[in-house]
Amino acid sequence: MNAIHKRMLAPSMLSGDFAHLADDIEYVNRSVADWFHIDVMDGVFVPNISFGFPVMDAIAKYASKPMDTHLMIVRPENYFERCAKAGTQWLSFHYEATHKPLEALRLIRSLGMKAGVAIKPATRPEILEPLLEDADYVLVMSVEPGFGGQKFMPDALPKVRTLRELISSKGLDTLIQVDGGISSSNADAVFDAGADCVVAGSAVFKAADRDAECRAIKGL
Ligand code: DX5
Ligand code: ZN
């Protein structure tokens, strides 16, 4: 049992200040946020390149909360072991990036991590049904993956509701994470639809009052 059903927040370090990343890591450590969200992009699966293992290792060194790594890369399986070595506890890959999503989830679990599968906005949530038993979490993208700071796509909400129903009907405790364009202005709607965890990058790091924004997202 994961048994973490509450409003969780995973700030995306992609929106941090890379010249002063330690400050932003320390911020998350002492904030009400729950996880570090680490966005890895390869310039192939998505039209942008973010960062790789040197940065992930550096974050791991200072992070006192779990790291949740979101791989937006082709051939994700090739990097699961390296992510485990970097200390990631939660690891997601994209359904659209592999021909063997079930094997990928099982591989992540066999490496001692929590396994997640992510879907892009155009991907139907029902295709995840046969994977739910092997997934600790599913990630519904509410923007096209590739960039922080985009506008939330409300089409994600019915997808979250569908997944919540599927997960409940199977008696599972797979968590639902939603990622992209989330802030205190729409977090209630996302959690009401059935999400357990939201990712927020620009909303947290660009906020005038970060503490107030994190608390509002979590409904505190
Ligand atoms: C987008 C990433 C997101 C993004 C979130 O491809 O997966 O995690 O950094 O940033 P905001 O919250 O600014 O949309
Ligand atoms: Zn992400």
Identified catalytic residue from 24, 136, 179, 196? 179
Q: Which protein residue has the closest C-alpha to ligand 1 atom 9?
A: 148
- What is the rounded CA–CA span in Å between residue 127 and residue 59? 33
Q: In this structure, what is the dihedral angle of CA atoms 179, 123, 188, 46, given to the nearest 10 degrees? A: 20
Structure tokens of 107?
A: 């591989």
pLDDT of residue 2: 43
Identified catalytic residue from 39, 42, 68, 196? 39
pLDDT of residue 6: 87
* Contacts of residue 31, Cβ cutoff 8 Å, sequence gap at least 6: 11, 210, 211, 214
Compute the distance from residue 68 Cα to the ligand 1 centre, in Å: 13
Half-sphere exposure of 126 (CA within 13 A, CB side): 0
Half-sphere exposure of 192 (CA within 13 A, CB side): 5
- What is the rounded CA–CA span in Å between residue 146 and residue 57? 21
- What is the rounded CA–CA span in Å between residue 202 and residue 161? 25
Strand partners, 140: 119, 178
- Is 68 designated active site? no
Give the C-alpha distances (Å, rounded to integers) separating 88 from 110, 132, 137, 145, 215.
Answer: 14, 21, 14, 20, 25
Report the residue among 12, 50, 67 best suited for mutation to probe ligand 1: largest number of ligand atoms under 8 A from its CB. Answer: 12
Give the pTM. 0.97
Ligand 2 ion: nearby residues, β-carbon < 5 Å = 39, 70, 179
114 and 89 in contact (C-beta within 8 Å)?
Answer: yes
Compute the distance from residue 125 Cα to the ligand 1 centre, in Å: 19
Pocket of ligand 1 (CB under 6 A): 12, 14-15, 37, 39, 70, 72, 143, 145-150, 179-182, 199-203
pLDDT in tens, 165-213: 999 999 999 999 999 999 999 999 999 999 999 999 999 999 999 999 9
- Would you place residue 3 in the very low, low, confident or very high pLDDT band (cuts 50, 70, 90)? very low
Compute the distance from residue 163 Cα to the ligand 2 centre, in Å: 19
- Is 192 designated active site? no
Report the residue among 41, 147, 153, 213 best suited for mutation to probe ligand 1: largest number of ligand atoms under 8 A from its CB. Answer: 147
pLDDT in tens, 26-35: 999 999 999 9
pLDDT in tens, 102-124: 999 999 999 999 999 999 999 99
